[in-house]
Structure 1
Amino acid sequence: MTNISTLARGGGQSATPRRPNSHRPARSGGLPAWSVPYVLLIPGLLVIGALLLYPLFQVGVIAFQKVGLVQISGKKPATWVGWDNFTRIFANDIFWSSLRNTLVFAVVAVSLTLIVGTAVGTLLNKLGRKMSTFVVVGIMFAWAVPPVAQGIIWRWLFDAEAGIVNWALNALPDWLSNLVFGRADWTGEPWLNDAWSIYMVLIICVVWASFPFVAVSVLAGLKGIPAELYEAARVDGSSAWRTFRKITFPLLKPVFAVLTVLSIIWDFKVFAQLYVLMGGPSNREAFNLSIYSYAEAFRPPPKMGSGAAIALVLTVILLVVTAVYVRQLVKQEEM
């Protein structure tokens, strides 16, 4: 009785279990608690290293070597040539025209993709749930088409003999076609022979396949903006453009930052669509850096050192452009 009354008054040992010490070190043979997340990251880091870092390292090594058909066959080892591959490509006019095509195409394609995707995402946000879901599923089919299939589709649409584009233009009234385009006959128009028209088709192809991802991302961001902000803007008589500039864009700036960086990376290294539209690396005036790298590395006689040098230059340009853009965004957020 004395022990029971003593425990009841709290004078003895508490009957409730003590909380375990969260700072207690791991038992012998186990891992410290702080190291568990890092250990779990090891498999992912190994995959990234095997699929990305090691090939990138190999490209960097080959860029400073002479690797041709003799070296590929194993008859001779690759020889170290230092900066000779870079000197050779920088002295070639094709490199500078390819760089110009890459930069101009990326600027136009990224801008149009973001504009069209944002417009479609804003429209989807105003539709009902069922109609919005229906449209999202429909446009995502375009995004899911593989790059090679995208090139085949648009190459067929702009085919000189059997393309739907020439057929549709010929179906226009002559007066309207003359008024808009300055000509009425589009039979046999070779859209994919000239560098300018090739890139026009390529821009349409890339924007068509890329804007659904931007639209869905913008739609997801718009769903997180409180409706009260838009109601207050309507009460104040704000126009649609002012509402977008003052409310939507600032709140979706992180979303636009990610979409812009991804679009820059994707459009700078476009290869499959352009390769299919050109029918191979045949028109040098229409080369971008990816096609030029492929042509140097694999067209006879193969010069893999030069191809790797071009690929390394493209990688450095992407890293610099992305770093500058992200740095500007960080500065704006700090301000």
Structure 2
Amino acid sequence: MANTSTIARDGGTPSVPARGPRGATPPRRSSGLPAWVVPYALLVPGLLVIAGLLLYPLYQMVVMSFQNVGLRQVRGAPAETVGFENYQKLIESELFWSSLRNTVVFAVVTVAGTLILGTLVGLLLHKLGKKMSTFLIVGIMAAWATPQIATAIIWRWLFDAESGVINWLLNALPDWFSSLLFGRSDWTGEPWLNDAFTIYIVLIIAVVWASFPFIAVSILAGLKSISQELYEAARVDGASAWRIFWKITFPLLKPVFAVLTVLSVIWDFKVFTQLFVLAGGTSNREAYNLSLFAFTQAFSAPPKMGMGAAIAVVLTLILLVITFFYVRQIVKTEDVR
């Protein structure tokens, strides 16, 4: 039998290779990267996708905002650099300022309405039993999952002047009640979608209807994480429901409200599809917001894609500034705590 043991050169005890316990997995070789580098290396694929899908188009948009881009440039002609001329025209345009006003007012009202309604529904769902809560969640999430174009078409039909359900319901009210409440009793042929003010009323209703389910479900998820012992202790001390909300629920869910507020601001500032459908296209200039104004400048004849890009850059900067200051206030609040 061959001797497989290794004899020490100095004649000492033979050295036998160390063996681990039976079935043990041999240690893997190290990748050679420092431990702090590994997380960043894992993020590289995702960052490359983001750069390709978001950052590069954003860069191209900024470059285009300093150029005169029309049909000739789309067909291959070189773009003419015009510097800040597009931005100067925007500042001098009354339509830009009216579009900016419509955008800001609409976003403020819609964000507030969405957060309030979503919070109330979330609190209600938290009070219900499991089966009923699940049933209602499925129902309201169907509204949130409905495509925006379908939502806009439904609300346009509801407020149609000739065959809309809203006019029919208002005409069905008793004349004395309708006159007392609205100052009129006949709603036949009421053109809700001809005037910019009423268009935005319908738009606010449509967007809040489609957006509050996401807020409600998010608030419900946050409420599930709060210990019920806090509420029981507050009720024992005689605290009202309103005081319990402001002293327990709201402080503990402040990070959730912060994220939902930022997301709602971003979504509502960029509303386009619903407004385009409700306004019947781009003919009603008084109803423009920044998104519809940018679309009109970029794609209506003659196309001015440089102007459209400049409007999009302004809208992006507004959202970045709002998000930055809001997140900064949140961070300061958390640091104080």
Contact 1:217–1:255 (CA<8 Å) still a contact in 2? yes
Q: Percent identity?
A: 69
| CA deviation string 1:238-279 (max 9, x = no partner) | 000000000000000000000000000000000001001011
Q: Match of 1:41, SS?
A: helix
Aligned partners of 1:102 and 1:288 also within 8 Å: yes
Output the amino acid matched with 1:52. Answer: L
What does residue range 1-335 of structure 1 map to in structure 2 within 5 Å? Answer: 26=30, 31-74=33-76, 76-335=77-336
Q: Return the offset for 1:215.
A: 0.2
Determine the C-alpha separation between the residues in 1 that align with 2:254 and 2:286.
37
Distance 1:63 1:135 in 2: 46
Q: Secondary structure at the match of 1:312?
A: helix
Distance, in Å, in 1 between the alignment partners of 2:152 and 2:91 is 30
State the distance in 2 between where 1:245 and 1:299 align.
50
Is the contact made by 1:148 and 1:272 (CA closer than 8 Å) also made in structure 2?
Answer: yes
Higher mean C-alpha deviation, range 172-181 or range 34-43? 34-43
| Aligned-partner Cα distance in 2 for 1:143–1:330 | 30
8 Å CA contact retained: 1:65, 1:81: yes
Query: What is the deviation of 1:316?
Result: 0.2
Deviation at 1:36, TM superposition (A): 3.4
Q: What is the TM-score with the length of structure 2 in the denominator?
A: 0.91
Match of 1:3 in 2: none
Give the Cα separation in 1 of the matches to 2:29 and 2:104. 55
Q: CA deviation at 1:291?
A: 0.3
Deviation of 1:17 after TM superposition, in Å, equals: 5.1
TM-score by length of 1: 0.91
Q: Give the corresponding residue for 2:11.
A: none
CA distance in 2: counterparts of 1:120 and 1:126, whole angstroms: 10
2: CA distance, partners of 1:279 / 1:42:
44
Q: Residue type matched to 2:273 in 1?
A: A
Code of the aligned partner of 1:306: M
Cα deviation, residue 31, structure 1: 4.8
Residue aligned with 2:297, SS:
helix
Q: Cα offset for 1:16? A: 9.0
Per-residue displacement from partner, 1:166-195 (whole Å, max 9, x unpaired)? 010011111110010000000110000111
Task: Tell me the CA shift for residue 235 of structure 1.
Answer: 0.5
Contact 1:26-1:33 at 8 Å conserved across structures: no
**Separation in structure 2 between the aligned mates of residue 162 and residue 16 of structure 1, nearest angstrom:** 86
Contact preservation (8 Å) 1:25, 1:32? no
Q: Decide whether the 8 Å contact of 1:98 with 1:286 is kept in 2.
A: yes
Q: Which whole-Å CA distance do the structure 2 matches of 1:323 and 1:156 have between them?
A: 39
Letter of the 2:263 counterpart: L
Please report how far the alpha carbon of residue 298 of structure 1 lies from its aligned counterpart in structure 2 after TM superposition: 0.5
Gaps of 5+ in 1: 1-12
Q: Distance in 2 between matches of 1:299 and 1:288?
A: 16
Contact kept, 8 Å, 1:105 with 1:199, in 2: the verdict is yes
Q: Alpha-carbon deviation of 1:35? A: 3.5
Q: Distance in 2 between matches of 1:16 and 1:237?
A: 69
CA distance in 2 between counterparts of 1:98 and 1:178 reads 34
Question: What code does the residue aligned with 1:211 have?
Answer: F
Shift of 1:99: 0.3
AA of the residue aligned to 1:95: F
Which residue in the other structure is 1:7 paired with?
none
Counterpart-to-counterpart distance in 1, 2:137 and 2:41: 39
Cα deviation digits, residues 111-140 of structure 1 (max 9, x gap): 000000000000000000000000000000
2-structure distance, mates of 1:41, 1:247: 37
Listed as ranges, the gaps of 5+ residues in structure 2 are: 1-15
